[in-house]
Amino acid sequence: MRKHKINLDESTLAFATISELSDALRKREISCVELTKFFGERLESQGPEYNALALSLLKDAKKAAKDVDWELKRERFRGPLQGIPFAVKDLLSVADYPTTWGAKPFADQVFDFDATAVRKLKSAKGILIGKLAMVELAGGGSYTSASASLQGPGRNPWNKQYWSGGSSSGSGAAVGAGLVPYALGSETSGSILTPACYCGVSGLRPTYGLVSRHGAMALSWTLDKIGVLARSAEDCGLVLHEMAGSDDEDPGSAQKSFYYSPQYYSNLNDLKIGYAEIDFAEWPVESLRPAFAQALTVVKSLGPQMVETKLPDFAYGPIITCIIDSEAASVFETLIRSGRVDQLADLGQIDGLKASMNYSAVDYLKSMRVRTQIQAAFRQLFAGVDLLVAPTKLDFPDKADVPFDDTPPKRPETKGVVAGLVQASNLCGLPALTVPCGFVNGLPIGLQIVGRPFSENRVLALGVEFQKRTNFHKQQPGKIAT
């Protein structure tokens, strides 16, 4: 018999951190089977409300949970992810189950192996309870509305009228709604940071090559990264600890491991943080500016040396667009030439994928040459600062049921860090973390932290310290504390 009955109510349990859930399991306040059933049934029942669920794996999850309970009963403790339910974006293969890539042409696609990231989390005795919805083909070819998904428009748990963000839309919504403690997503140019920000959760995009992409759909071989969306920055670190590492099956593997060691990075007084006041005071839409100003005040209160910074002057958007589209044209050539691309839900995306075939080798190679210049410029930039901080998104999410508003917003001519940071940091393969930093009109906003390659511990340390001073990451949809 268990020594204690868990004293967490349903709402508290749904939004508990990995460490809290792990502690409850080890103290046998709840069994792994009970925890798995709780989140699995929650994902099955509420996931469709947000168009977040692609496939429930609860039946297999219960079997795996029984094995974990057998281990816990014998005090065979493996680590903090042991017995913790999780879910993955539907571009990661799970053996013998559909991996649809969010798109009708691949609705019946089945692989006979687990993606490396999935396999590693299972090896850590994590409990896989489901696959999550995504924007079709991770947004390849660009898309014009939130409806570009096999499951329909991703809905924001804070307000279902709004989008949950792409292309890891289901991952953001599922974690944001408390349907799963953490989820895997992918990013090529913003697809972890955006849904994490919009859904009020923490999202970590690791350094390019730190997490294997074997078993993940390719969109852009030189840009794709697998990352995590979770309740807190600390949770992101715990997951990355198990998920990172070399893999000969991924040609882009950095052949490096990651050990989450926050105890060595907690002193922020010696850090130099690059930022620009204008990013917080003038670039966001006006209603968001007070909340961003307060978030910046919290960062300054942590004691680092703040350094006014500007990004190197490059056309980041056109460069990354050319690279993604050119590589996607090669990845999806058969789909496009066969005509099956016309089965996609978004007409703009269909046209975009077809148009991607028109890029020349000259276009691609020119962009790759400029990319090397951008990487050199960022090495020089990071010679003077340890981290960059900026707002993650500058405005509210689009509405879920209407085409995106493509009207160019009015922005200041003077640029700081935020303009182009998502594109630039992806081009350079840099790690980034977004953490919730406020609420406006009931919707969350996020703070973006970017570091040098393989500086995840430092990036996470700032996020952890920020979350020690704030409680934005502890809020639940419909229950924002004032």
The per-residue pLDDT for 1 is: 28
Range of the domain at 65: 1-482
Binned at pLDDT 50, 70 and 90, residue 410 comes out as: confident
Q: Do residues 433 and 448 make contact, with C-beta atoms less than 8 angstroms apart?
A: yes
Binned at pLDDT 50, 70 and 90, residue 384 comes out as: very high
The per-residue pLDDT for 211 is: 98
Q: Do residues 253 and 212 make contact, with C-beta atoms less than 8 angstroms apart?
A: yes
User: Smallest Cα–Cα separation from 443: which of 200, 218, 201?
Assistant: 200
- For 98-111, give one letter per residue: b (16+ CB within 10 A) or e: bbbbbbebbeeeee
Query: Whole-prediction pTM value?
Result: 0.96
More confident residue, 72 or 408: 72
User: Smallest Cα–Cα separation from 380: which of 331, 312, 436, 329?
Assistant: 312
Instruction: Choose the catalytic residue: 31, 89, 120, 147.
Output: 89
Average pLDDT value for residue range 345-370: 98
User: Smallest Cα–Cα separation from 120: which of 216, 221, 233, 231?
Assistant: 216
pLDDT at 2 over 60: no
**Measured distance CA(430)–CA(452) in Å, rounded:** 6
Contacts of 49 (CB under 8 A, 6+ apart): 155, 160, 177
**Measured distance CA(92)–CA(100) in Å, rounded:** 9
**Measured distance CA(482)–CA(479) in Å, rounded:** 9
Instruction: Choose the catalytic residue: 31, 93, 167, 169.
Output: 167
**Measured distance CA(417)–CA(276) in Å, rounded:** 6
Q: The domain that contains 383 carries what CATH number?
A: 3.90.1300.10
In what helix (H) or strand (E) does residue 53 lie, and over which residues does it extend? strand 53-56
Kindly report the backbone phi and psi dihedral angles of residue 54, in degrees, each rounded to the nearest multiple of 5, phi listed first. Answer: -95, -40
Average pLDDT value for residue range 378-396: 98
Active site residue 19: no
Contacts of 284 (CB under 8 A, 6+ apart): 292, 391, 394, 395
The per-residue pLDDT for 334 is: 98
Q: Do residues 155 and 438 make contact, with C-beta atoms less than 8 angstroms apart?
A: no
Q: Which residues pair with 306 in a beta bridge?
A: 273
Q: Do residues 13 and 58 make contact, with C-beta atoms less than 8 angstroms apart?
A: no
Q: Which long-range contacts (CB under 8 A, 24 or more apart) does 403-409 make?
A: 403/144, 403/145, 404/144, 404/145, 404/146, 406/144, 409/285
How many Å from the N-terminal Cα to the C-terminal Cα in the chain?
41
In what helix (H) or strand (E) does residue 367 lie, and over which residues does it extend? helix 361-381
DSSP H helices in 264-346: 277-281, 289-301, 316-331, 333-338
**Measured distance CA(311)–CA(378) in Å, rounded:** 8
Q: How many domains does the chain have?
A: 1
- Where residue 452 falls (left for φ over 0; alpha for ψ -120 to 50; beta otherwise) is beta
With tokens 């339910």, the residue in question is: 85
Percent of the chain whose predicted confidence (pLDDT) is above 70 = 98
The per-residue pLDDT for 3 is: 38
Helix 233-243 / helix 456-469 crossing angle, nearest 10 deg: 150
Instruction: Choose the catalytic residue: 145, 164, 169, 191.
Output: 191
Q: Do residues 258 and 215 make contact, with C-beta atoms less than 8 angstroms apart?
A: no
37-46, 111-120, 185-194, 405-414: least confidently modelled range: 405-414
Q: Largest Cα–Cα distance of the chain, in whole Å?
A: 69
With tokens 């879910």, the residue in question is: 87
Q: Do residues 187 and 204 make contact, with C-beta atoms less than 8 angstroms apart?
A: no
Active site residue 167: yes
The string of pLDDT tens digits covering residues 418-461 is 999 999 999 999 999 999 999 999 999 999 999 999 999 999 99
The per-residue pLDDT for 4 is: 35
Binned at pLDDT 50, 70 and 90, residue 8 comes out as: low
The per-residue pLDDT for 7 is: 53
Average pLDDT value for residue range 404-420: 89
139-153, 246-260, 261-275: least confidently modelled range: 261-275
Average pLDDT value for residue range 165-178: 98
Active site residue 37: no
The per-residue pLDDT for 389 is: 98
The string of pLDDT tens digits covering residues 192-236 is 999 999 999 999 999 999 999 999 999 999 999 999 999 999 999
Q: Do residues 140 and 219 make contact, with C-beta atoms less than 8 angstroms apart?
A: yes
Kindly report the backbone phi and psi dihedral angles of residue 89, in degrees, each rounded to the nearest multiple of 5, phi listed first. Answer: -60, 145
The per-residue pLDDT for 481 is: 62
